[in-house]
Each structure stands twice: as C-alpha cells, then as structure tokens.
C-alpha cells in the first residue's frame, strides 16, 4: 500500500468468548485493504490449526516476562490463566504508514489502550444473547468444560465494562456485522450504542448459565 501522511487509526475490538470476533476480524481484513491485524503474543498453548506468527506468537512465560521488562508491549493482560499482549513495533510501523490497525484484545487491554490513545475506536462485539454465546462456545469444542465455565465467569466481569466502549455491535448476521463495523470505523458517528437493558438481560442469563455449570453457585 502507498505511503500516506495520515496516521492510521487504532481500532480495538473486544467481545465475549465465542462471539465470533476472530471471524469478523478476518472478514474485515479480507474485505477492505486499509486494515492490518496485530498478531498478539500469548503464553497459552496453540489450538489445533493455529499457526505461530499467524494467529499468535506462542511463547513461554519467561519470554513474555522479558518482553514486558523490555517495554515491548503496547498493552498486556492476564486472561483465564495466561498472558496476552500486543507487540508495540508492528502497530507503530503500520499506523505511521497510514494503515488502520485492528487489535482483537480483551477488556483490560482495551482500557489500557484507551488511556494511552484516547482517539482509539473501541468496539465491543456481543452475541444476541448469552444462551446463543453458550451454543457457540460449547459447539466449537476447543476448550474443556472447566475452561468454558471460566470463560462465562470472565464474560460476567466483562459485561460490566461494555459501557466503556465507544460502540457495542451485535453479531447476529456476519455480513451485516462486518458492514456496520466498517461504517462505524470510517465515520465514527458517536452517540450511545450501549443499551443497559440488553446488558442486564445478558448478565441475568450468564448468571443462570454459570449456576447451571457450577451446580448452583454463580460465585
């Protein structure tokens, strides 16, 4: 892509586990040529089919901790027992070439980015309901039952942060979701897209699911 003077936008995409964030982001990269996707570093083990350097840089705790010490991350966070972080160099280089960089990261990291770069566009993707999230997460069969429960517990915490995002987008139909995201990023229309009634209903269902999975206690 031709070098431009404009600094590329920083686009942060978060969402509950199982919401299809990865698919949405992949489509945005393939449908539009003004995006680059940041490849994160993590200490979790690769899932079947995941490639080092494509899906993540899979590293040991030691390597990750050294990178923190060296100031190599834009942000980093712990998520269900593992480290995840955004290497700084790739993001800086692409943005200075006028390319919009997408970070697909969880809530703690997203809020760190907002502190550092108030101009970043933060988008939270959700499923239409928590039951739908359960269907997708259980259906993909990539995590143990215990890990899935951990992800619901984490989602319960993440729901409280939805309101800190600039936009909340429901991923019901993939094409619609991708189109809406592109429109939001290009025009940044502003205005409320967080709906407290939706959030309360989602949390209520999440608590039911957690209680079912832990035998009655949602703690």
Residues binding ligand 5GP: number (CB under 6 A): 14
Q: Establish if 26 lies at the interface with ligand 5GP (CB under 6 A).
A: no
Q: Establish if 86 lies at the interface with ligand 5GP (CB under 6 A).
A: yes
Q: Establish if 20 lies at the interface with ligand 5GP (CB under 6 A).
A: no
Crossing angle of helices 174-187 and 21-31, rounded to 10°: 60
Stretch binding ligand 5GP (CB under 6 A), from 27-35, 76-84, 120-128, 185-193: 76-84
Any residues with CB less than 8 A from the CB of 210 and at least 6 apart, and which?
Answer: 149, 152, 153, 156, 218
Max Cα distance, the chain (Å): 58
Q: Is the dihedral of CA 73, 74, 77, 79 positive or negative?
A: negative
* Number of Cα atoms under 13 Å in the Cβ half of residue 64: 20
Q: Smallest distance from the beta carbon of 5 to ligand 5GP, in angstroms?
A: 28
Stretch binding ligand 5GP (CB under 6 A), from 4-12, 71-79, 115-123, 169-177: 71-79
Q: Establish if 88 lies at the interface with ligand 5GP (CB under 6 A).
A: no
Q: Smallest distance from the beta carbon of 96 to ligand 5GP, in angstroms?
A: 20
Instruction: Specify the DSSP element, H or E, that contains 10.
Output: strand 10-15
Q: Establish if 171 lies at the interface with ligand 5GP (CB under 6 A).
A: no
Stretch binding ligand 5GP (CB under 6 A), from 26-34, 98-106, 171-179, 207-215: 98-106
Buried b / exposed e over 22-49, threshold 16 CB at 10 Å, is eebbebbeeeeebbbbbbbbbbeeeeee
Q: Of residues 10, 67, 104, 130, which one binds ligand 5GP by CB under 6 A? A: 104
Q: Smallest distance from the beta carbon of 29 to ligand 5GP, in angstroms?
A: 15
The three-state secondary structure class of 4 is coil
Q: Token pair of 119, please? A: 């101009």
Give the residue with the Cβ less far from ligand 5GP, 125 or 170: 125
Q: Which residue is nearest to ligand 5GP (CB)?
A: 109
Nearest CA among 75, 83, 99 for reference residue 10: 99
Q: Establish if 153 lies at the interface with ligand 5GP (CB under 6 A).
A: no
Positions that interact with ligand 5GP (CB under 6 A): 17, 40, 44, 75, 77, 79, 84-86, 104-106, 108-109
């Amino acid at each position: 892509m031709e070098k431009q003077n404009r600094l590329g936008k920083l686009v942060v995409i978060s969402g509950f586990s199982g919401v299809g964030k990865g698919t949405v982001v992949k489509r945005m990269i393939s449908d539009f040529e003004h995006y680059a996707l940041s490849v994160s570093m993590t200490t979790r083990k690769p899932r079947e089919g995941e490639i080092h350097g494509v899906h993540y840089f899979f590293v040991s705790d030691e390597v990750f901790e050294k990178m923190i010490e060296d100031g190599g991350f834009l942000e980093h966070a712990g998520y269900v027992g593992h480290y995840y972080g955004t290497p700084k160099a790739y993001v800086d280089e692409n943005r200075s070439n006028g390319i919009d960089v997408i970070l697909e990261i969880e809530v703690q990291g997203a809020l760190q980015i907002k502190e550092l770069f108030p101009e970043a566009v933060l988008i939270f993707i959700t499923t239409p309901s928590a039951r739908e999230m359960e269907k997708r997460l259980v259906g993909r069969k990539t995590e143990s039952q215990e890990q899935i429960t951990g992800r619901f517990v984490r989602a319960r915490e993440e729901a409280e942060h939805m309101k800190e995002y600039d936009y909340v987008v429901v991923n019901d139909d993939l094409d619609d979701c991708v189109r809406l995201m592109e429109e939001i990023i290009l025009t940044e229309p502003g205005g409320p897209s967080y709906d407290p009634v939706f959030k309360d209903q989602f949390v209520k269902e999440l608590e039911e699911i957690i209680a079912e999975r832990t035998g009655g206690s949602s703690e």
